[in-house]
Amino acid sequence: MRHRLESSGPAVPLPGADAGTQSWYGLLLNPLLLVLIIANTVHFALFEGLSKALDALAWLLLLLLFLTEPHSHRLRHPHLRLALHAARLLAVAGVLLATAAYVFEENLLDAVNSAIWIAVIVMLELQVRSPEAAAHRTAFAAAAVVLYGALMVLVFAWAVRGEWFDAYDALLWLAAFGTIELDVLGARRHGPNWPPNR
């Protein structure tokens, strides 16, 4: 899922780099959302089936890697870099295995949800890795609207089925990645010198 996470530094500042590269809403929301997502992951690991536990743990690892990636250039020891690459591969394998398990179990909502989230991560990766991304802001914005809209439809679908915890968990992930998306777009809009030194 996270293709080319190991490539050299991001083209734009990523959330989590430091207080100067995050918006005020990112600084406020990310720690709270992360704590809530970790709590949900513990719930899935303890009380849900193996597929959901694997899915939750893999996505949490990917989120942590995404948020901490701006610091990865400071790692000088090759064993630490190797450990990060191994963690990425492990998380990707977990996501793919969980998605395949959902398909095998005929769990349509979770399978579709995983597929859409994979598309979201690919879109974010393209925005921060590709030098040409700035020239295609409209296309990326349209794709984001479609993907996040589809994820919101799934939130309503879980709610209609009375699966309130799944709906709540999906909302948390939408909020977390929505914040990241806004930070990425803000960095693209203001260019490499944004935000100004305070």
Instruction: Report d(CA 126, CA 133) in Å as an integer.
Output: 7
One-letter amino acid identity for 12?
V
Higher pLDDT, 125 or 27: 125
Could you read off the pLDDT of 152-168 as tens digits, one per residue? 999 999 999 999 999 99
Distance in angstroms (rounded) separating the CA atoms of residues 93 and 97: 6
| Cα–Cα distance, 149 to 144 (Å, whole number) | 8
Greater confidence, 60 or 191? 60
Distance between CA atoms of residues 191 and 88, nearest Å: 28
Q: Is the pLDDT of residue 3 over 70?
A: no
Q: Looking at 2-11, 26-35, 79-88, 128-137, which range is the least confident one? A: 2-11
Q: Rounded to an integer, what distance in angstroms lies between the CA atom of residue 53 and that of residue 186?
A: 34
**Least-confidence region, from 38-42, 136-140, 153-157:** 136-140
Could you tell me the pLDDT band of residue 132, with boundaries at 50, 70 and 90?
A: confident
Which residues, in sequence order, are CB contacts of 171 under 8 Å at separation 6+? 155
Confidence check: pLDDT of 70 > 90: no
Average pLDDT estimate for 2-27 = 42
60 closest CA partner among 14, 91, 15: 91
Return the H-helix or E-strand segment holding 191. Answer: none
> What value does the mean pLDDT take over residues 49-72?
83
Give, for 133, the enclosing helix (H) or strand (E): none
- Write down the pTM of the prediction: 0.73
Q: How many CB atoms lie within 10 A of CB 8?
A: 9
- For the stretch 72-108, what's the b/e string if a residue is b when 16 or more beta carbons lie within 10 angstroms of its beta carbon? beeeeeeeeeeebeeebeebbebbeebbebbeeeebe
Predicted pLDDT of residue 29: 60
Higher pLDDT, 67 or 37: 37
Q: What's the pLDDT tens digit per position in 75-109?
A: 666 677 778 778 888 988 999 999 999 999 999 99
Q: Has residue 18 got a pLDDT over 90?
A: no
**Which range among 49-58, 67-76, 183-192 shows the weakest confidence by mean pLDDT?**
183-192
